[in-house]
Amino acid sequence: MKVDRRFSQVVRTIWSHPKFRKLSKPKPNAQTLVLRLLVAPEMTGVPGIFKAWDAALAADLGWPLSAFRKCLTEVIEAGWAVYDEETGVFWLPNALEQEANQPANPNVVRSWRTPLAELPESKLKTLAIEKLVTWAKDKGDSWSIALEEALGKRSAMSSPNPSGKSGPKALVEGSPKQEHEHEHEKEQEHDPPKPPEGDDGDDSASRLIACPKDLALPEQIIEGLMGTCGATREQVLAEVQEFKSYWTIGGGMGRTFSRGMWLRKCRERIRQRLSEANSGRPASNTARQIAPLDGPGPADPAIAERNRRALEAHERRVQAELDAEVAS
């Protein structure tokens, strides 16, 4: 029987969207819980495994803990998920079987190194990694090598072809700075001097394209944003996901820029959003002050309103900037 591969992209932060949270809530049930786990804002770059305590999820859904655990038992028995009560880690064993969760290339797998390392050690983590190893072997040697690097079992420098591409021009070095390269590009993943407007360095990089679904900031830029904005890696990556969602399936869908311009737009948008969200507040409080679309949101209504206004003002500025560039 032919498997239906159709799917719809859903932004993970829908669970914390103010308009969504105002809708009537379902009573405790296993189907809603499955959806909450599949589209979990707690999810990292590694499909199907993340840390979230059952009590926190129950509170987020507005369910009594006892009712949540009853639904969770049903979900676990049906094979949808596994939960480690000691470490608070969820694992969805079949996550990588969904086409929407498939990484674009081996470099994406390399980017799993940090989220995998941050998960607490447990039997569940070991089982999940074993399944990832089997999956990578089925995909091919380049994927297995990438996963070994992500697990710290192989040096990135020893990988002859980090992108998994063939051909005489394949990159030799496999540093994390070379993650998420475009299908038709060889990019040196660092923060280069900004070229003249409209010129991204070469003909390949300057082609006008829609926002790439595999768009990702180089590691050096991520670390720079973490330092200048006082943000965590998870917050920066969540902002990248928000940026891509807006320009690929949201209100900005259809715009075209060069790949280099998309990277700069993404970097600047994240820098401004995180800076605005933390204006007048200590950087250490970043996790509690990000705009409502980026997580559960701050408990203080005044902070939430300030974030909302800052977000709307920023979106207007970005849109005006993009409109001006398109017109020119």
Is residue 33 within 8 Å of residue 40, measured between CB atoms?
Answer: no
What's the pLDDT at 310? 63
- Span between the terminal Cα atoms of the chain, in Å: 52
What's the pLDDT at 183? 40
Tokens 């086409």 belong to 99
Taking only the tens of pLDDT, the chain with its 328 residues reads 445 566 677 777 788 788 888 898 899 999 999 999 998 888 888 989 999 999 999 998 999 999 999 999 999 999 999 999 999 999 999 988 887 788 888 999 999 999 899 999 999 999 999 999 999 999 999 999 999 999 988 765 444 454 454 443 333 344 444 444 444 344 444 444 444 443 444 444 557 888 888 888 888 788 778 877 777 888 888 888 888 887 877 666 677 888 888 888 888 888 888 877 665 444 333 333 333 333 334 445 665 566 566 656 655 665 666 566 555 5
User: What DSSP character marks residue 172?
Assistant: S
Q: Which residues pair with 210 in a beta bridge?
A: 256
What's the pLDDT at 326? 52
> Structural domains in the chain?
1-92 (1.10.10.10), 103-179 (no CATH), 191-328 (no CATH)
What's the pLDDT at 141? 92
Tell me the residue ranges of DSSP E strands in 195-249.
209-210
What's the pLDDT at 15? 82
Please state, in angstroms and rounded to a whole number, the distance separating the CA atoms of residues 222 and 240. Answer: 10
Please state, in angstroms and rounded to a whole number, the distance separating the CA atoms of residues 273 and 312. Answer: 10
Report field, pTM of the whole predicted structure over 0.85: no
For residues 233, 237, 242, 246, the Cα torsion angle rounded to the nearest 10 degrees is 140
**Closest among 126, 127, 143 to 135, alpha carbons compared:** 143
